[in-house]
Amino acid sequence: MATEQIAVRLPERLLSDLDELVARGVYQSRAAAVRAGIEAIMRLERQRQTDLAIIDGYTRQPPTDSEEHAAMASLREAILDEPW
């Protein structure tokens, strides 16, 4: 995979926190920590886009009363099946 280097300026406190993670072995390097952060942001953004698409679908074609009742019954059953 091709990579490209970028320059990032961070406030001293944030850099200190980042260095602490590296020192504790949470990340192998500053770069690894920054990559992990960007990957997390991208996962969240993909999930947000999926959520918006689902909302759009339900907005365009709302569930019928029958579908809503079935979903609620399924939810109640799932809760009752929990071992709490």
Q: How many domains does the chain have?
A: 1
Overall size of the chain counted in residues: 84
Instruction: Print the domain residue range for 23.
Output: 12-81
Look at residue 70 and tell me if it is in a domain: yes
Whole-structure pTM value = 0.73
pLDDT tens, position by position, 6-62? 999 999 999 999 999 999 999 999 999 999 999 999 999 999 999 999 999 999 999
Look at residue 57 and tell me if it is in a domain: yes
Q: What is the DSSP letter of 9?
A: -
The residue written with tokens 């990957």 in the block is: 39
Q: What's the CA gap between 51 and 42, in Å, rounded?
A: 14
Q: Note the pLDDT of residue 84.
A: 81
Look at residue 24 and tell me if it is in a domain: yes
Look at residue 2 and tell me if it is in a domain: no
Q: Give yes or no for a contact between 8 and 34, defined as CB atoms under 8 angstroms apart.
A: yes
